[in-house]
Structure 1
Amino acid sequence: MIIMKMDLLPLNERINWSLRLMNPGCWVFLLVLLIQVLVISADTDPQDAAVLNSLASSWDNTPSNWIGSDPCGDKWVGISCTNSRVISITLSSLGLTGTLSGDIQSLNELQALDLSYNKGLTGGIPASIGSLSKLVNLILVGCSFSGEIPPEIGNLPRLVFLSLNSNSFTGSIPKTLGNLSKLYWFDLADNKLTGTIPVSDGNKPGLDLLTHCKHFHFGVNQLSGTIPSKLFNSDMRLIHVLFDNNNLTGSIPPTLGLLSHLEVLRLDANSLSGPVPSNINNLTKLAELHLANNQLTGTLPNLSGMTALSFVDMSNNSFDASEVPPWFSTLPSLTSLYLEFLKIGGQLPKSLFSFAPLQTLKLRSNRLNGTIDIGTDYSTSLELIDLRDNDISQITLGGGGFEKKIILVGNPICNQGGTDLQYCKISRQSTPPYSTPQNCIPIPCPSNENLSPNCHCAYPYTGTLYFRSPSFSDLGNATIFQILEDALKSSLLKQLPVDSVSLQNPFVDADNNLEMTLQVFPGGKDRFNEIDVSTLGFILSNQTFKPPSIFGPYYFIGEGYSAVRVVAPSSKSNRLPVIIGASVGGAALASLVTGCVVFAIRHRRKTRKLKEKNQSIVSWSRTKSSSSIPLLKGAKLFSFEELRKCTNNFSEANHIGNGSYGKVYRGILTDGQLVAVKRAQQGSMQGGLEFNTEIELLSRVHHKNLVTLVGFCFDQGEQILVYEYVPNGTLKESLSGKSGVHLDWKRRLRVALGAARGLAYLHELANPPIVHRDIKSSNILLDDHLNAKVSDFGLSKPMGDDTKGYVTTQVKGTMGYLDPEYYMTQQLTEKSDVYSFGVLLLELITAKKPLERGRYIVREVRVMMDKTKDLYGLHELLDPAIGLGTTLGGFEKYVDLAIQCVEDSGNDRPAMSDVVKEIENIMQLVGMNPNADSASASLSYISSSRSPVRHPYSNVGNFDYSGGVPPSELEPK
Structure 2
Amino acid sequence: MSSYRQILLCFGLMFCFYLPCCVKSDELQILLNLKSALNESNTNVLDSWEATSSVCSFNGITCNAQGFVKEIELSHQNLLGVLPLDSICQLQYLDKLSLGFNLLYGEITEELGNCLKLQYLDLGNNFFTGSFPDISSLSNLHYLYLNGSGFSGTFPWKSLENTTNLAVLSIGDNPFDRIEFPDQILKLKKLYWLYMANCSIEGKIPPAIGNLTELIELELQYNYLSGEIPAEIGKLHKLWQLELYNNELTGKLPVGLRNLTKLEFFDASANNLEGDISEVRYLTNLVSLQLFKNKFSGEVPPELGEFKKLVNLSLYTNLLTGLLPQKLGSWAEFNYIDVSENFLTGPIPPDMCKKGTMRAVLMLQNKFSGEIPTTYASCTTLKRFRVSNNSLIGIVPAGIWGLPEVDIIDVAYNQLEGPITADIKNAKQMGILSAEYNRFSGELPEEISEAKSLVRIELHENQFFGKIPHGIGELKRLSNLNLQNNRLSGSIPNSLGSCASISNINMADNVLSGKIPSSLGSLPTLNSLNLSRNQLSGKIPESLSLLKLNLVDLSYNRLTGPIPTSFSIEAYNGSFIGNPGLCSSTIRHFKQCQPDSDMSKDTHTLILWLTLGAPILLVSLGCFLYIRRNEKDNSLPLKEESWNIKSFHVLTFTEYEILDFVKQENLIGKGGSGNVYKVTLPNGVELAVKHIRKSHRKSLSTSMVFNKSAGKEKEFDMEVQTLSSIRHVNVVKLYCSITSEDSCLLVYEYLRNGSLWDRLHTSNKMELDWDIRYKIAVGAAKGLEYLHHGCERLVIHRDVKSSNILLDEFMKPRIADFGLAKIVQSNGAKDSTHVIAGTHGYIAPEYGYTYKVNEKSDVYSFGVVLMELVSGKRPIEPEFGDNKDIVSWVCSKMNNKESILSIVDPRIPEVLKEDVIKVLRVAILCTTRLPAVRPTMRTVVHMLEEAEPCKLVGIVISKEGEHKIKEADKFNLLL
Relative to the length of structure 1, the TM-score reads: 0.46
TM-score, scaled to structure 2: 0.46
Larger radius of gyration: 2
Q: Which has the higher contact order (CA 8 A, sep 6+)?
A: 1
